Amino acid sequence: MRPLDASGLPDVMDDDWPLDVSGLPDITDDDFSQWRARMARETMMGDEAIALGAVHAGLGGAFAYPGTPSTEIMETLQEFVKRQAEGKLDGVKNAFTAQWCANEKTAYESALGSSFAGKRSMVSMKHVGLNVAADPFINSALIRINGGLVVVVADDPGMHSSQDEQDSRWLADFARVPCFEPADPQQAYDMTREAFELSEKIEAPVMIRITTRLAHSRSLVETSAAKAQGAIQKPKVTKDWILMPANARRRWHEVLGKQPELQAMSSSSSWNPLSLKGEKLGVITTGLARQYWLENADEYAAAKGEIAHLHIGFYPMPEASIRKLYDACDEILVIEEGYPYVERQLRGIVAPGKKIMGKETGEIPYEGELSPDLVRKALGLPERKGLAVKELSPPGRPPQLCMGCPHADSYGALKEALKDYSQHAVLSDIGCYTLGALPPYNAIEATVDMGASIGMARGAASVGLRPTVAVIGDSTFYHSGLSNLIDAVSHNTNMTVLILDNDTTGMTGAQPTILPSSRLEPVLKGVGVHPDHIKVIRAHKNEHEKNVAIIKAELAHEGPSVVVMVRECLEALKKARKA
């Protein structure tokens, strides 16, 4: 019998070695490799678990645009691509694609094409990215999905790095597509694998909705054997991919016809377990909120008795289970992360009469993230007292540009160029340079959404406000600024665009910009900006006076002009040197 290589075996401590293997049957190399492929444990973040779940489900193509807290999904997949090419990704034999895209819409449409080709496909983005991808997302619910299509959306309660707290479950419901909501990284892995199966079974996209804490929290995840990737195979009936009105009406009717099946599936799903132990209070949890509930459940049971509990990890709403819980209890508490989606839906499922508590009634805060202490308060448990410490008054530390960031030099030149104007507007975009709103720069006046800076500047200029300046990064320009610039060129709008070109998507971790800096000037010429008013300059304090003069000249120009301020992001440079 060969010695047993136990590396990677679960639940075996160093003190257990050497193992006594006498009497055990012979284990061949093939037996052992298959066992390890079937079951292994790894510590990983929720984002990483989703990436690995997709690969183990037989992923063919994955597409994304970076956006916290979803970024690590694609970063993990791209690392897997490297490992797979080197033969170091256990159990995964077929190569797969994992690509950054210009924006979430193009990423979604790429995933649709991959699905059309018969490959299992995934697109990932943050919640506001789904707004950008809403057109293909909503319409894709009406086509007959070929290779399984999984849409991963990372919501950001508390707005750690976002403009709003929107809840993507509403858009899943709007599109009439199923939605998984994992409670921990293990469920994130398992649900991802199941989502591909479900997508192919019902021939529709399937959403996985996660939140910031789940995306970035770590725990042990038990994985299982990878499935082989499917072959290229186009749809048998391509008219189900052509949304002409006649086809779309037929497909919409068919989508609606599937809803009772999905409803029944939800009420019997193992992801929606129901316990009817208690009689007075019934609790409904969703996703990550289950963990906060579990931290307090035993103490509540000891103090006040058992609680009936329904957990929802799969949508549409499990109406049969909800009615059972409602009938068994005197009152209901809904604990969910994000908007009061379940709480509002609940009132349309059960008859009025019993008290339903949650965000809309004030027991759970309407805004921000949940926590065990907030859930504790909602349950009426006493506050946990921490250690008494002397009061501290640390100074505030607002976010700021990195030391030596080229954006600081760009804003310095822009502010000096504008100082002689009594009235002007500087409209910015989403990225590191948004921090130009804060001291010591105080350089920008508006930031709304990706690509809006150029559109807002054009709108202000078109009604007579001058000078107007749009400040946008190179990645954001390609994401959704380019189409607004085309409007400006078409209408010969008197405005200046500053493209802060640091050759990376800096705020989300220095991912590469979709096109290199050398391609930017030809793109600007191609959309019709006059070559004399495309200025490419170096964003550096040593060039300050020259840069100020160039910006001043373009502010005075009648028509659209673009100043590209180029200097590499320091964090991207550090990252490249470590690679």
Q: How confident is the model at residue 571 (pLDDT cuts 50, 70, 90)?
A: confident
pLDDT above 90 for 509: no
pLDDT at 277: 87
Q: How confident is the model at residue 395 (pLDDT cuts 50, 70, 90)?
A: confident
Task: Give me 118's structure tokens.
Answer: 């018969």
Task: Give me 184's structure tokens.
Answer: 């921990």
- Residue pair 205/145 in contact (Cβ under 8 Å)? The answer is yes
The stretch 485-496 carries a mean pLDDT of 97
End-to-end CA distance of the chain: 43
pLDDT at 543: 95
Dihedral-angle region of residue 19 (phi above 0 means left; psi in -120 to 50 means alpha; beta otherwise): beta
pLDDT above 80 for 6: no
Backbone angles phi and psi of 107, in degrees to 5:
-65, -45
As a whole number of angstroms, the distance between CA 526 and CA 249 comes to 39
Q: What is the pLDDT of residues 171-221, one digit of tens each?
A: 999 999 999 999 999 999 999 999 999 999 999 999 999 999 999 999 999
Q: How confident is the model at residue 388 (pLDDT cuts 50, 70, 90)?
A: confident
As a whole number of angstroms, the distance between CA 115 and CA 149 comes to 6
pLDDT at 576: 79
- Residue pair 284/332 in contact (Cβ under 8 Å)? The answer is yes
Q: 16 or 430: whose pLDDT is higher?
A: 430
Q: How confident is the model at residue 16 (pLDDT cuts 50, 70, 90)?
A: very low
As a whole number of angstroms, the distance between CA 182 and CA 194 comes to 12
The stretch 430-451 carries a mean pLDDT of 90
Which class for 367: exposed (0-12), middle (13-18), buried (19 or more C-beta within 10 A)? exposed
Q: What is the mean pLDDT of the chain?
A: 91
Q: What is the pLDDT of residues 299-354, one digit of tens each?
A: 999 999 889 999 999 999 999 999 999 999 999 999 999 999 999 999 899 999 99
| Full-model pTM | 0.87
pLDDT above 50 for 14: no
Task: Give me 562's structure tokens.
Answer: 């673009």
312: amino acid identity, one letter: I
The region of weakest confidence among 35-49, 161-175, 212-226, 482-496 is 35-49
Q: What is the pLDDT of residues 261-291, one digit of tens each?
A: 999 999 999 999 999 987 799 999 999 999 9
Domains and CATH numbers, the chain: 1-36 (no CATH), 39-267 (3.40.50.970), 274-378 (3.40.50.920), 406-578 (3.40.50.970)
pLDDT at 39: 58
pLDDT above 70 for 249: yes
pLDDT at 33: 52
Q: How confident is the model at residue 163 (pLDDT cuts 50, 70, 90)?
A: confident
Q: What is the pLDDT of residues 453-463, one digit of tens each?
A: 999 999 999 99
pLDDT above 60 for 412: yes
- Residue pair 77/51 in contact (Cβ under 8 Å)? The answer is yes
- Selection from 16-30, 153-167, 524-538 with the highest mean pLDDT: 524-538
HSE, CB side, 13 Å, CA atoms: give it for residue 539: 25
pLDDT at 23: 52
Strands 355-357 and 331-335, by their bridges, are: parallel
As a whole number of angstroms, the distance between CA 47 and CA 385 comes to 33
As a whole number of angstroms, the distance between CA 444 and CA 471 comes to 8
Percent of the chain with pLDDT over 70: 93
